Chain A
Amino acid sequence: MLSFLLRRIGSGLALIVVIASLMFVLMNMTGQNVARNIAGQTASEEQVAAKSAELGLDQPVVTRYLDWIGSAIQGDLGSSWFTGQPVTDTIGAKLPVTLSILLVGLLVGTIFSVIIGVAAAVKGGWVDRAVQLLAIIGFALPSFLIALVLAAIFAVKLQIFPAVGYVELAESFSGWAKSITLPAIALAIGAIAATAQQVRGSMIDVLKMDYVRTLRSRGLSARSLLFRHALRNAAPPALTVLSLQFIGLVGGAVVVEKVFGLYGIGTLVFSSSSSGDQPLVLGVVVVMVLIIVLVNLLMDVAYGWLNPKVRV
């Protein structure tokens, strides 16, 4: 199990470095004159050159890359070109919002995928057909559209939940819960559609297995049979789908945050990339990939716990 985990951690770190490098290259292909943007259109050539030198833009790309990656490895992601604030501080302030909706979305997604998938597999009939329909609809509704519809109904019309803004967890639990309910649901629905399908499929497969019949011959209760034995064996493939879905969840956060006026790192990646604030964009991308890697690592651990064969 340990070497399995170490391998996963290693490949996760490699992924972060490679993607950060890729992004660095992409952002420097632009030829956009950021120094001019920051200094302002009325600035003189000297002022622009001075800004350029200040940001280190007069250095060769390779030097800048090595500088950036060198300090990034030590945890220093540089400072914003526009505000001058350390990138880690800016991201740190916005991370709780995004993590809240992502993790709650993932949790809600997991719970409902299991309930819906198991019900479809066991009950069959109209329950099953309803789930198939839900899967198609869940696939066809992008998360921002779900977010818009939820906002229109539950925030604007019924006013059960706030339409915009985030309440910190430390401030008020119920406020926090209310402020992230709609965004988390909007994110989770697509993941539920895909994952519940997989849970259904692998439950149907597992329930046909010889050992399930043998367990039944031992007179085990239906509850133990379904939720202890069958579900555990059906879970690994569903977990793989879920970790793929999580990548989609992170992408969805970019748009869903906008709908609900949440200033998280999704909004940050949008605003910083449109202004060309390179250190901030790179920092946010690194953090996003880090979140994906960590969640996937968590799922790998769960996978290993569920499936004794991969532990070796």
Chain B
Amino acid sequence: MTLPSPDGTAGVAPDAAALVGVALPKRAHLVRRLLKDPTAVVSIVLLIVIAAASFAAPLLTSADPAAPSLANTLGPPAPGHPLGFDGVGRDIFARLLYGGQVSLIGALIAVLVAVAIGVPSGLLAGYAKGAFDAVASWTANLTMAIPAIVILLVVMTALGASTSTAMIVFGVLMSPGVFRLVRASVVAVREELYVDAARVSGLSDARIMRRHILPVVAAPTIIQAAQMFGIAIMIQAGLQFLGIGSSAESSWGSMLSDAFSNIYVAPQLLVWPGLALTITVSAFALLGNALRDSLGATAIKPSRAARRKARAAKSAARVTPSAKTPAIVLSDDAASDDDDAAADAATPEADVLLVVENLRVAYPTSGGESVVVDGISLTVRKGEVVGLVGESGSGKTQTAFSILGLLPPEAQVTAHTISFDGRQIAGLGRNAMNELRGRRIGYVPQEPMSNLDPSFRIGFQLVEPMRQHLGLSKAQAKAKALGLLARVGINDPERTFAAYPHEISGGMAQRVLIAGAVSCDPELLIADEPTTALDVTVQAEVLDLMRSLQAEREMGMILVTHNFGVVADICDRVAVMQTGKIVETAPARELFANPQHPYTRMLLDSTLEDSVPRRALAAVGAAATGSTAADTTLATDPTTPTGESA
């Protein structure tokens, strides 16, 4: 069975998993935080008003909620009877107020019973585990697998039909929900080190329970209690609507039942009890949400200003080209302008594939914005391999993603130019971009296992883009995919084609991703740390593969890496990035032989220190210190292992 619901009504099941681990802050602190949340304030005020009105009913009206009067049947409002009369001439206002008492007291009973059973049993099951846990968990699952109202109907005939009995029984039926939540919270904290430490230091179980476990249980239980209040009020109204409960008692459910019997003559009778029920239950639900937000601190709502900022950022999310310096964020309309501007941006040099000029990427933060790429420029020629090198956080990956148009919507991207094969691609719409991505620009990600869709077979993931871009038939695409898999060095292409991503190794997955990147014969390949996440032994093979594919297809390539071994191995030219800026660009040999910028020198040195000395890397070190003798070793040794991992 799938996990059954804690309440059995059609309500939102309080999500135990989401509540686990919410800790209870200091009381005063909590109140202050709650009062800052408008939702919490509104719901608390509503609930106070409803409760006050219900319990002050005798002061607010002198009418008897249970006294029928034939003369007043369905009568309009009259002095002392502000809401008029119901189907048997009872005062609606009085029934509404007294009905509120019944609802709130009933719900309180149900919640108290649920907590009284659920908390101790959950504590015990979570803390002691063993047989009690097994039996209790099993029982909890069982009672949750059947609609509560059905059990209630059966039990009510056995025990008699008063609302408070029904709510006691419903409390029992809700207790599994509390039990599971408490148990999960205890199990989560039980594994924590500080509980072990407390146990080792000889604290008694009772003491550990009070000091370390109860605080963790309290917050989720309070949140769930608020939600259970609402659920109990709803199910109670449902039972009363069906006619269960004392007929002498006023209740919102029985008012709805009366409205139902008069639905043809006086449908407006639905309004007041319906509103009372909905507002009360919503208030409890909102209070539950607000409590979760202020206790959990996970789902803090952004302030209005922050939301506005995020919205503004979203509209600027696409890469927006600016015709003149300095870079200006253009509006959406201007950005998708026309092809004339794009033609202007074309570089005269025929063999230039990609030109990036003055690219800037920033993210909005609470205090303004954080610039991750700060005005970089980059050129890639046809068939040229350009290394983009730098430490993590230097903006390499952000640069790669902005060329592909893959940055998240909140990123603010501007550039004078991003042109591909002479055409301005900055600010292209999604459809136009999709004609380039995958088709003419390929992308190889860093972490192979997380970059294949886990729900689809590998074959499908290879075939789908080829069919879309190249218009191949299913059979043609499959044949080509199998060929590609063989080409990237997979021994049994048929089997890999039919496999799911979780059935293959990381090295295989990276080969699959490379096959996918080159499947539509792109002219430019952007590879983001393609070997970093792989085993050392596999790294060299994958790099070899990329180099041979690049050479055979004469692809331009941007290789993002922090690894100078990789650079030495494969790159023609290198751009070194530091904190969002390119600090040095040079042909690979020149860079190794004669690094100009201190940061480049520092990177080269640290490459040497971090890794096991190897021939080629030793050569890099030598080059970095000024000896040019090692150049030949560097450039000609194809077996250079690319040692260090991330």
Please report A residues at the B interface, Cβ cutoff 8 Å: 8, 11-12, 15, 18-19, 22-23, 26-27, 29-30, 32, 124-125, 135-137, 139-145, 148-149, 151-152, 156-157, 163, 187, 189-191, 193-194, 197, 208-211, 213-222, 224, 229, 232-233, 240-241, 243-245, 247-252, 254-255, 258-259, 269-270, 273-274, 276, 281, 285, 288-289, 292-293, 296, 299-300, 306-309
Q: How far in angstroms is the closest Cβ of chain A from B429? A: 11
Whether B96 is near chain A, meaning CB under 8 Å from some CB there, is no
| Contact partners of A149 in chain B: CB under 8 A | 270, 274
| Contact partners of B445 in chain A: CB under 8 A | 210, 213-214, 217
Give B294-311 interface residues, CB cut-off 8 Å to A: 311
- Residues A307 and B455 in contact, CB atoms below 8 Å apart: yes
- Residues B311 and A125 in contact, CB atoms below 8 Å apart: yes
Known: A139-B12, A273-B154. A247 touches B242 (CB 8 A): no
| Contact partners of A210 in chain B: CB under 8 A | 445, 447, 450-451
Whether B641 is near chain A, meaning CB under 8 Å from some CB there, is no
| Contact partners of B267 in chain A: CB under 8 A | 152, 156-157
| Contact partners of B289 in chain A: CB under 8 A | 136
Docked Cα-Cα span, A118 to B434, in Å, equals 21
| Contact partners of A258 in chain B: CB under 8 A | 241-242
Q: Which 10 A-B pairs have the closest CB atoms?
A: A251-B147, A190-B10, A219-B438, A217-B443, A218-B438, A248-B10, A219-B437, A30-B158, A140-B282, A140-B281
| Contact partners of A229 in chain B: CB under 8 A | 453, 455-456
| Contact partners of A254 in chain B: CB under 8 A | 147, 149-150, 153, 242
- Residues A220 and B438 in contact, CB atoms below 8 Å apart: yes
- The proximity string for B residues 146-166 relative to A, scoring 1 for CB distances below 8 Å and 0 otherwise, is 111111011111110000000
Known: A190-B11, A247-B8. A218 touches B516 (CB 8 A): yes
B73-81, B258-266, B419-427, B588-596 - interface stretch: B258-266
Docked Cα-Cα span, A5 to B439, in Å, equals 42
Known: A218-B516, A233-B453, A255-B241. A293 touches B282 (CB 8 A): no
Residue among A197, A220, A233, A296 facing the most chain B CB atoms (10 A cut-off): A220
Known: A241-B13, A288-B146, A296-B2. A148 touches B154 (CB 8 A): no
Q: Which listed residue (B2, B274, B517) contacts A244, Cβ 8 A?
A: B2
- Residues B146 and A248 in contact, CB atoms below 8 Å apart: no
| Contact partners of B285 in chain A: CB under 8 A | 136, 139-140
Docked Cα-Cα span, A233 to B436, in Å, equals 26
Docked Cα-Cα span, A58 to B369, in Å, equals 82
- Residues A240 and B281 in contact, CB atoms below 8 Å apart: no
15 extra interface residue pairs, beta carbon distance < 8 Å, beyond A141-B278, A142-B10: A19-B142, A135-B12, A139-B281, A140-B278, A145-B237, A148-B256, A193-B12, A194-B10, A211-B454, A219-B433, A220-B438, A222-B430, A233-B455, A247-B4, A307-B454
Known: A26-B154, A210-B445. A285 touches B146 (CB 8 A): yes
Which residue of chain B has the shortest Cβ distance to A248 in the bound complex? B10
User: Can you report 27 A-B residue pairs in the complex whose CB atoms are below 8 A from each other?
Assistant: A15-B142, A26-B158, A29-B158, A141-B281, A142-B9, A144-B256, A148-B263, A148-B274, A156-B264, A157-B267, A190-B9, A210-B445, A217-B404, A217-B443, A219-B434, A229-B455, A229-B456, A244-B13, A248-B147, A251-B10, A251-B150, A252-B9, A254-B150, A285-B150, A289-B146, A308-B454, A309-B454
| Contact partners of B142 in chain A: CB under 8 A | 15, 18-19, 22
Whether B234 is near chain A, meaning CB under 8 Å from some CB there, is yes
| Contact partners of A219 in chain B: CB under 8 A | 433-439, 465, 468-469
> Number of contact residues on B: which range applies?
35 or more
Q: How far in angstroms is the closest Cβ of chain A from B581? A: 25
Whether B502 is near chain A, meaning CB under 8 Å from some CB there, is yes
- Residues B153 and A211 in contact, CB atoms below 8 Å apart: no
Q: How far in angstroms is the closest Cβ of chain B from A272? A: 9
- Residues B468 and A221 in contact, CB atoms below 8 Å apart: yes
Docked Cα-Cα span, A306 to B454, in Å, equals 10
Q: Which listed residue (B8, B157, B270, B286) contacts A248, Cβ 8 A?
A: B8
- Residues B513 and A214 in contact, CB atoms below 8 Å apart: yes
- Residues A248 and B465 in contact, CB atoms below 8 Å apart: no
- Residues B468 and A255 in contact, CB atoms below 8 Å apart: no
Q: How far in angstroms is the closest Cβ of chain A from B2? A: 5
Docked Cα-Cα span, A215 to B453, in Å, equals 8
Whether B452 is near chain A, meaning CB under 8 Å from some CB there, is yes
- Residues A23 and B11 in contact, CB atoms below 8 Å apart: no
Q: How far in angstroms is the closest Cβ of chain A from B313? A: 12
- Residues A259 and B311 in contact, CB atoms below 8 Å apart: no
- Residues B454 and A194 in contact, CB atoms below 8 Å apart: no
Q: How far in angstroms is the closest Cβ of chain B from A159? A: 11
Whether B277 is near chain A, meaning CB under 8 Å from some CB there, is yes
- Residues A276 and B157 in contact, CB atoms below 8 Å apart: yes
Which residue of chain A has the shortest Cβ distance to B434 in the bound complex? A219
Known: A148-B274, A254-B149. A187 touches B282 (CB 8 A): no
- Residues B434 and A220 in contact, CB atoms below 8 Å apart: yes
| Contact partners of B274 in chain A: CB under 8 A | 145, 148-149
- Residues A247 and B158 in contact, CB atoms below 8 Å apart: no
- Residues A216 and B437 in contact, CB atoms below 8 Å apart: yes
- Residues B450 and A211 in contact, CB atoms below 8 Å apart: yes
Known: A140-B282, A216-B406. A270 touches B153 (CB 8 A): yes
- Residues B147 and A194 in contact, CB atoms below 8 Å apart: no
